[in-house]
């Protein structure tokens, strides 16, 4: 990198720099794309901002403008020549900006270390040169990547590559050698946690980190107790050895809400750059009076305590309705008289009237007068008698009743549950039970897939864990051009084959007997791979394995679709099932995910999340789909 400093007028003002082409790119990326904020983070007047990896100060200038010049900025840049530009560019804002000629790393004490500069670049300086080679320069060995980049970065090279094919290998290697020519510069390094402590920093509204491969070191240099001071983070990450996932997991453990974005152009070109955005949630403020025995404190505590217990009362009321088969009594009847309910269910009248009153209080029943007699109609509980009733009743009988009879504290400490659930199913009986359940509850899933996916664009589909073939048959009937393969365990595959044969669809739907727990790959060559109520049964490592298998089984530009109950849309369902998994050791913890968590995982694997089909507000859909492109 040259030490010569130049000066020029740019769209954001007069700037000092060492590489003009990089400055134009930085301005576009930071000021126009707002890449360090996205739509996830915010900056307001009065903000305290740390700019770690400040380069020549373009982001610091962006912060000044964004905060109407009412801000305090700490800018860190280790490379001396680049720091000179930074200092000159921010000199007129000396009351707002503190500049430091230092890099940030996880070092026990301040030290000097060699930074590597590549070619003429100022933005790739790093003390992790191997990471930069992998992230920034190895993609340049690919002809298509280099051709696209050179079309706007180096026109002579572009034309040589395009029109002199016999020189391509030579040109690619020559360019790579030029770009990766290394210069070593001795730079100062400190730890961010130590800087925060020594300078008595009490608040950081945004910590921006762009340190060319050393992002984990910067985060690890922050003391755990200091994260509560940092409201937001914006981090460029080079995804080597699952670094994105590790950072996201660590930040979430510190209490942050996270969002990961990957520039689709970078992804297509083979670059592993991601942006992680993180912010602390707004605190739920519970105000307690400092006065002892204050009535307001007691009232709030009482509401909270009995609010929790009231949930238990509602469960007991629902249990009684199922146990007494109250729903069956109402079948085909607009109402029932109170005396008839008591008589037919053989209830004690005094207790029964209190019970019926509570069912009305919670909107299970509605009390009416039929002449001079008291009667009841199904109220909101009528909803459960629709499409989902079989599944609700099955869950209640098979799981809830058994769990309700267990003492959770004993299960957690020293006893085993009285019932056992094998997962995945091991016998023909277990497989038949599961597939019956999946079949009878499949309609909302089918409706969701048909509403959210434009199935006209696909020809071949792999339905992973496709049950007894019910969903595959429904899709094949709706779209006669589709060829579908159902992938499932051997016992379930036999059930699927029988159903497909019975529907006369064996020429368009095939069955593949497999075991994705032990298999390392799916059959390949598909336009779309479906995971319908499959991933939510497994932990992150298994989810990741299956999505990786899907990635390699798809055609170029193929799609993967995930359809299940996402945590942000059906939290109560996820909470209930997660509770039931305590009693079944075959299931892992934290299996239910939000759609955003799946999108992050897909991006880490190499997919690009894409929009689903537009849905009319006048046509409600039971669920949604996460869709991504290879």
pLDDT in tens, 325-355: 898 888 888 999 999 999 999 999 999 999 9
Banded model confidence at residue 290, pLDDT cuts 50, 70, 90: low
The answer to whether 503 touches 473, Cβ cutoff 8 Å, is yes
**287 pLDDT higher than 60:** no
pLDDT for 289? 54
In this prediction, residues 175-187 reach a mean pLDDT of 92
DSSP string computed for 393-444: HHHIIIIIHHHHTS-HHHHHHT---SS---SS--SHHHHHHHHHHHHHT-HH
Which of 37-41, 73-77, 377-381 is the least confident region? Answer: 377-381
Q: What is the pLDDT of residues 55-97, one digit of tens each?
A: 999 999 999 999 999 999 999 999 999 999 999 999 999 899 9
Please work out, in degrees rounded to the nearest 5, the angle formed at the alpha carbon of residue 598 by the alpha carbons of 593 and 599: 145
Going by C-alpha positions, the residue among 33, 29, 11, 7 that lies closest to residue 20 is 7
Provide CATH 3.40.50.150 ranges for the chain: 6-129+184-279, 428-629
Q: Which CATH number fits domain 6-129+184-279: 1.10.1060.10, 3.50.50.60, 3.40.50.150, 3.40.50.720?
A: 3.40.50.150
Q: What is the pLDDT of residues 573-628, one digit of tens each?
A: 888 888 888 887 777 788 888 898 899 889 888 899 998 887 766 667 778 899 99
Going by C-alpha positions, the residue among 498, 582, 493, 586 that lies closest to residue 538 is 586
Going by C-alpha positions, the residue among 71, 68, 66 that lies closest to residue 41 is 66
Phi, psi values for residue 199, rounded to 5°:
-100, 10
CA distance 621 to 221: 47
Going by C-alpha positions, the residue among 258, 330, 294, 310 that lies closest to residue 599 is 258
pTM over 0.75, yes/no: no
CA distance 269 to 275: 16
Rounded to the nearest integer, the mean pLDDT of the chain is: 89
In this prediction, residues 124-140 reach a mean pLDDT of 89
Percent of the chain with pLDDT over 90: 56
Q: For tokens 């509980």, what's the residue?
A: 381
Q: What is the pLDDT of residues 432-443, one digit of tens each?
A: 777 787 778 888
Say which CATH topology domain 428-629 has. Rossmann fold (3.40.50)
Long-range Cβ pairs for the range 486-489 (8 Å, 24+): 486/510, 486/511, 486/512, 487/462, 487/463, 487/512, 487/514, 487/516, 487/522, 487/523, 488/512, 488/513, 488/514, 489/424, 489/425, 489/431, 489/513, 489/514, 489/515
Phi, psi values for residue 159, rounded to 5°:
-70, -35
pLDDT for 2? 54
295-385 domain in CATH 1.10.274.10? no
Residues facing residue 14 across a β-bridge: 9
Please work out, in degrees rounded to the nearest 5, the angle formed at the alpha carbon of residue 577 by the alpha carbons of 576 and 579: 65
């Amino acid at each position: 990198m040259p030490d010569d400093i130049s000066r020029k007028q740019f769209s954001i003002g007069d700037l000092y720099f060492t590489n003009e082409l990089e400055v134009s790119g930085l301005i576009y990326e930071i000021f126009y794309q707002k890449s360090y904020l996205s739509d996830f983070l915010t900056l307001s007047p009065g903000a305290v901002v740390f700019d770690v990896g400040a380069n020549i100060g373009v982001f610091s200038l962006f912060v000044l403008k964004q905060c109407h010049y009412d801000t305090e900025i700490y800018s860190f840049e280790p490379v001396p020549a680049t720091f000179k530009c930074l200092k000159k560019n921010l000199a007129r804002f000396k009351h707002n900006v503190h500049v430091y000629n230092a890099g940030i790393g996880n070092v026990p004490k301040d030290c000097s270390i060699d930074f590597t500069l590549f070619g003429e670049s100022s933005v790739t300086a790093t003390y992790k040169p191997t990471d930069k080679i992998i992230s920034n320069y190895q993609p340049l060995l690919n002809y298509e990547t280099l051709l696209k980049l050179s079309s706007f970065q180096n026109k002579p090279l572009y034309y040589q590559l395009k029109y002199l094919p016999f020189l391509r290998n030579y040109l690619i290697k020559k360019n790579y050698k030029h770009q990766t020519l290394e210069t070593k510069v001795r730079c100062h390094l400190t730890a961010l946690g130590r800087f925060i402590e020594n300078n008595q920093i009490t608040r950081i509204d945004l910590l921006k980190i762009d340190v060319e491969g050393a992002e984990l070191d910067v985060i690890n240099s922050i003391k755990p107790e200091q994260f509560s001071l940092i409201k937001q983070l914006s981090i460029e990450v080079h995804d080597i050895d699952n670094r994105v996932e590790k950072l996201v997991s660590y930040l979430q453990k510190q209490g942050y809400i996270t969002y990961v974005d990957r520039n689709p152009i970078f992804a297509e070109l083979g670059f592993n750059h991601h942006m992680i955005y993180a912010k602390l949630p707004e605190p739920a403020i519970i105000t307690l009076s400092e006065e002892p025995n204050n009535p307001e404190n007691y009232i709030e505590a009482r509401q909270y305590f009995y609010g929790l217990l009231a949930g238990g009362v509602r469960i007991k009321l629902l249990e009684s309705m199922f146990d007494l088969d109250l729903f069956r009594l109402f079948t085909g009847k607009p109402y029932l008289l109170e005396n008839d309910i008591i008589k037919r269910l053989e209830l004690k009248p005094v207790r029964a009237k209190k019970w019926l009153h509570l069912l009305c209080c919670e909107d299970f029943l509605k009390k009416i007068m039929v002449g001079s007699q008291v009667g009841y109609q199904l109220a909101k509980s009528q909803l459960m008698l629709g499409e989902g009733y079989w599944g609700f009743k099955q869950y209640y009988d098979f799981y809830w009743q058994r769990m309700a009879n267990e003492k959770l504290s004993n299960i957690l400490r020293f006893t085993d549950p009285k019932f056992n659930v094998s997962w995945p199913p091991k016998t023909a009986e277990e497989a038949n039970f599961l597939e019956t359940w999946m079949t009878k509850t499949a309609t909302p899933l089918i409706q969701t897939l048909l509403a959210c996916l434009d199935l006209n664009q696909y020809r071949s589909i792999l339905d992973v864990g496709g049950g007894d073939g019910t969903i595959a048959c429904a899709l094949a009937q709706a779209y006669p051009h589709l060829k579908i393969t159902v992938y499932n365990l051997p016992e379930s595959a036999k059930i699927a084959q029988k159903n497909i044969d019975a529907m006369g669809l064996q020429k368009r739907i095939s069955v593949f007997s497999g075991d994705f727990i032990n298999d390392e790959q799916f059959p390949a060559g598909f336009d779309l791979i479906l995971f319908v109520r499959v991933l939510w049964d497994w932990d992150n490592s298994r989810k990741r394995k299956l999505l990786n298998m899907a990635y390699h089984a798809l055609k170029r530009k193929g799609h993967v679709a995930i359809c299940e109950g996402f945590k942000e849309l059906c939290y109560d369902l996820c909470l209930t099932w997660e509770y039931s998994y305590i009693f079944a050791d075959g299931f892992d913890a934290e299996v239910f995910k939000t759609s955003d968590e799946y999108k992050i995982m897909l991006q880490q694997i190499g997919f690009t999340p894409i929009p689903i089909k537009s849905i009319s507000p006048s046509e409600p859909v039971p669920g949604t789909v996460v869709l991504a492109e290879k």
